Structure 1
């Protein structure tokens, strides 16, 4: 009997998962552009490269995507409330497709820079819009697991690029990567618009029909009528609220803003994008039986498997426990890498220990996937009122882009000038600080409705709370 109940429960959310998978395919399409650099940079540095590049130019190819992604949130802020999350997400992959075509015909590195900039625009837009769409179509019970799909698709994109890239030339890889935005557009075109957006534009019948399809419920369902009434009341309430960027910094939203800034910076200061962007370059320093390309494929496979783990636990174990476990594991693995590269830099014998940084990197990837890679997007979709959600996602994405650019660009500079070990010690220190801040300032939102979460996020003016919070978080 229990098995039947579980089966019915999973079946109830089928349409929601279908829409969520189609939406998050946008992340597979755009993150493939980030994974492209790992196999492409070594190929472009070869003597027979059709577009020869230097190490410095390679670091710009990796990092300029982050500069382009700064414009994605701006586009989202201007478009998502006017045209809806669905149409904004569909249009977001157009610069991505153009960028791949440019790379196919690129004759010099500056043209590749332009393509990477366009990739960044799509990357930033997709990461801004997708959490909004998922948060507005998902039931309370599965909102965490649908949010995790963002990272699942992103890691699948890395696996595809790492697996295909070393065995084809960089132009062929661009053609293959071009198919991803095309597939996304075809899949997502048939999915529904957010019911919250439809209600905000007085399309009540369409919103109710969409909600019934998502929840797989018949017209006489009291539960659907109740949820629809709550949605409509929330939309009416938020329509009276300020939707300007200034309201994001209002006292009532300051705690939520501090949380997303903490999570955004904490995620990226672990060095995750530098490690993934330069995976083959890092592994080329190791003396192992497998080559750097094969080690990178193993890395991508492990991280894809790892990100499925929180899908089953984020709505059961809670957000905070997963974040703390993830940070602790990431810190331990980064310290192990730091120690190895320190010994190697000072000429201690490390030939028999090459497996240490590789295994530690795998441990880091698994630990990062457990919480830091997934939970922030679930939290981001929950903690802001609808009236400022687009602006909040824009700020999250822009801060993330800035931090990613700094980390990815400086990783190559610091590693070349001071040593790889210095970069890894910096990542270790930042991860330790992130863990401490998460412990003290991130609340639990598991299983709570939007209304309950807003009550948690609204900062009370009591002196007791003032003594607990950082300036930005109070």
Structure 2
């Protein structure tokens, strides 16, 4: 950590506690569901009510993803991060003291709102405060803490009571609220609001540089970037009606759809219950600990592998690998249901379910589970990147609600073998979709990617915007020359 970017690391540390809170909320259900089924909690829920408790976070994520578009652009990124702690704290009060299912629904819905707010605004804030040389490192820190939060819940969740685990959801948001009180606002947001002096002070804190001339030069570049960005249309209407964005929208939506229905999220939410039903011979606590440790390690090494291999082949291979693993797990449950291979002592294949799921998580974690977040940031141009991110978050939340809520219904209808074979078929669909639709982005500049996606439309639009921006840039440079 150099002296010039110390504040950037401190701000990232504060944000990383917030991202840790989101993963804690997301994986809370994995160790809690077996407690519900074993009547180890003070509230009694049916299987249908439990499925609602698990799934209700997703509609909250939809609302939470939309909130920053109003709060963040009006009151700032920092204020939005601070505000996101409120639904987590209030939601935990409902979860802790719930005696009826509806109170659990409210609590989990509020967690979803906080989740959506953090995931939407944190990436924007970090991209706006970070020096380009350490932007990747800062992003890796938040990713590490998110994975650590999941590991923490999965490791201790089976050994502590329902109340103790849920109390984490009060402690963590309080911690990141206090930490975020000390971080500066984004200079880009302040410049958009016309607060040049405040932006200059924020930039001085973030850069740690005493040379005011260097700060003024960087501020000049920022003002030019903000001015150019504001010249381009950045509305949702522009995103969905502009022909130049159509292929990027199709690629992003297709990858999110196949990834979600390939079962990663439902399996993570129901992993404790799946282990119970598989009769694999492992204690749920042991299985969750192994599962969490594997996810944590994969989260550390996946960025390295992604940067070494091409996006497109890695997508195809990971989808195909998951297809094979999920098909095998489904076959085991089919044999269990039809033939009745339930005797743990005499069943030589009892570990197939756990090993198959672990292998699937490893394959998807290295491949499509990581790439579906990287590729949209590469294929959408800057003017619609923010609105595209929000739209994709909403779309993902809706898909996750259908996938997670539909898990119990599908199991009741087809059995677990039908569930896993459906996930396998969607993984195969993802490989086919990638082969025919997704382009390779590794090793290409953002401009080269846009030319491949948009063709001549990109150059025509760029030339028009350059003409509009020329006069503003001349005026901007004249003002700064007078200052310096």
CA distance in structure 2 between the aligned counterparts of 1:150 and 1:408, rounded to whole angstroms: 25
Q: Does 1:115 align with 2:107?
A: yes
Report how many residues are paired. 453
| Aligned: 1:410 with 2:402 | no
The 3 A distance-change label for structure 1 pair 205 and 47 is closer
SS at match of 1:243: coil
Structure-1 separation of matches of 2:39 and 2:354: 28
Q: What is the correspondence of 1:133-152 to structure 2 with a 5 Å cutoff? A: 133-140=125-132, 143=135, 146-147=138-139, 149=141, 151-152=143-144
Q: Tell me how far apart the structure 2 counterparts of residues 372 and 216 of structure 1 sit (CA, whole Å).
A: 38
* Alignment correspondent of 1:59: 51
Name 2:193's counterpart in structure 1.
201
Structure 2 residue aligned with 1:185, among 171, 177, 190?
A: 177
Q: Within 2, Cα distance between the matches of 1:445 and 1:284? A: 42
Alignment check: 8 A CA contact 1:145 1:312 kept:
no
* Matched ranges for 1:72-221 at <5 A: 72-140=64-132, 143=135, 146-147=138-139, 149=141, 151-207=143-199, 210-211=202-203, 214=206, 219=211
Shift of 1:458: 4.0
Q: Where do 5+ consecutive residues of structure 1 fail to align?
A: 1-7, 463-474
Contact 2:291 2:358 in 1 (8 A): yes
Give the equivalent residue in structure 2 for 1:471: none
Separation (CA, whole Å) in 2 of partners of 1:325 and 1:147: 26
Change (3 A) 1:199 1:100: same
Q: In structure 2, the residue corresponding to 1:373 is in which secondary structure? A: helix
C-alpha contact (below 8 Å) 2:158/2:284 kept by paired residues: no
Task: Decide which of 11, 19, 31 is 2:11's aligned counterpart.
Answer: 19
Closer, same or farther: CA 162–121 of 1 in aligned 2, 3 Å:
same
Change in Cα spacing, 1:259 to 1:77, as seen in structure 2 (3 Å) is farther
Contact 1:320 1:442 in 2 (8 A): yes
1:290 to 273, 282, 300: 282
> So what's the TM-score if we normalise by structure 2?
0.83
Aligned residue for 2:465? none
CA contact (8 A) 1:76 1:390 kept: no
State which structure, 1 or 2, has the greater radius of gyration over its C-alpha atoms: 2
2:370 equivalent to 1:374: yes
After TM superposition, give the deviation of residue 179 of structure 1 in Å.
Answer: 0.9
CA drift of 1:377 comes to: 2.9
Per-residue CA deviations over 1:78-130 (Å, capped at 9, x if unaligned) read 12222222221221121011101111211211111111111111112222222
What are the Cα deviations for residues 252-305 of structure 1, in whole angstroms up to 9, with x where unaligned?
Answer: 333332233123223312211111111110001233443112201210111011
Question: In the alignment, is residue 245 of structure 1 matched against residue 241 of structure 2?
Answer: no
Q: Tell me the SS of whatever aligns to 1:275.
A: helix
Match of 2:223 in 1: 232
SS at match of 1:69: helix
Distance 1:247 1:307 in 2: 35
Higher deviation after alignment, 434-443 or 452-461: 452-461
Distance 1:217 1:445, change over 3 A: farther
Alignment of 1:297-376 (within 5 A): 297-315=289-307, 317=309, 319-320=311-312, 322-347=314-339, 349=341, 351-376=347-372
Q: Residues 65 and 117 of structure 1 are in contact (CA less than 8 Å); yes or no, is this contact kept in structure 2?
A: yes
Superposed displacement of residue 204, structure 1: 3.7
Offset at residue 230 of structure 1 (A):
4.3
